[in-house]
Amino acid sequence: MSLQGKVALVTGGAQGIGRAVVQSLLHSLAKVTVVDLNKICGEECKTHLDAEFGEGNCTFIQCDVSDGDSLKDAFQRTVDQFGRLDIVINNAGINNEKNWEKTIQVNLTSVIKGTYLALEHMSKEYGNEGGTIINVSSMAGQNAKLKEPKAENNRVEELEAENPQLKDLESGINRLEVLEDEMTSLK
Ligand SMILES: NC(=O)c1ccc[n+]([C@@H]2O[C@H](COP(=O)([O-])OP(=O)(O)OC[C@H]3O[C@@H](n4cnc5c(N)ncnc54)[C@H](O)[C@@H]3O)[C@@H](O)[C@H]2O)c1
């Protein structure tokens, strides 16, 4: 499928899944802004992408997505540089159980902010041409499971071993209730 003429913004695009998505978009002839916290990886990524797809098709913007002003600026700079915005992929994510507040900022709040910014720049309601928003998450969001902190997770695994029926996804709510009762009795 050709995405010629389309412009995409990918957060967390310098490494991992985001980088693979950026490559795929460039392969489909879109222009792409790579938004990432990691300056070294971002610059290295741009150098490789320029070599593979030609200069002028992608740009790197260093940005912490949890900084609302920086994220807003990244969207504006994309439109200023490429003239439009059609695809937004809110992909940046971390898994840091010790700094759970930052994790929520990056994995949840920034995704909501990125979605609103995408609407601002793409929605027909604001006089734009419409577009596509993809918010990357984890299957863990659909399969509720007490996972962290690790000590509690060990206990969850023990409980599941003692009660094999709790592993049945269909009984997710019952499983959580039983596990929560067990957790409460441990405190
Ligand atoms: N890899 C998996 O198995 C898996 C599983 C479930 C969900 N996910 C989700 O997929 C997405 C990508 O995961 P991945 O495995 O490619 O991760 P990764 O760690 O390989 O890459 C994440 C990228 O996001 C960037 N980043 C981190 N914090 C940022 C911030 N505050 N601002 C801007 N950029 C930031 C990092 O620098 C990195 O380049 C994440 O949202 C993750 O939660 C991945």
Is residue 21 helix, strand or coil? helix
Dist. CA 59 → ligand 1 center (Å): 19
Dist. CA 185 → ligand 1 center (Å): 36
Dist. CA 109 → ligand 1 center (Å): 15
CB neighbours of residue 59 within 10 Å: 20
Spans of the chain, pLDDT less than 70: 144-153, 156, 165-187
The strands making up 31-36's β-sheet, listed across from edge to edge, are 58-62, 31-36, 7-11, 87-90, 132-135
Which of ligand 1's atoms lies nearest the C-alpha of 38?
37
pLDDT of residue 170: 47
pLDDT of residue 1: 79
Per-residue pLDDT reduced to its tens digit, 11-36 = 999 999 999 999 999 999 999 999 99
pLDDT of residue 162: 78
Per-residue pLDDT reduced to its tens digit, 168-180 = 654 455 555 665 6
Which of ligand 1's atoms lies nearest the C-alpha of 107?
41
Which of these, 4, 33, 10, lies nearest to 135 by C-alpha position? Answer: 10
CB-defined site of ligand 1, < 6 Å: 11-12, 14-18, 36-38, 41, 63-66, 91-94, 106, 136, 138
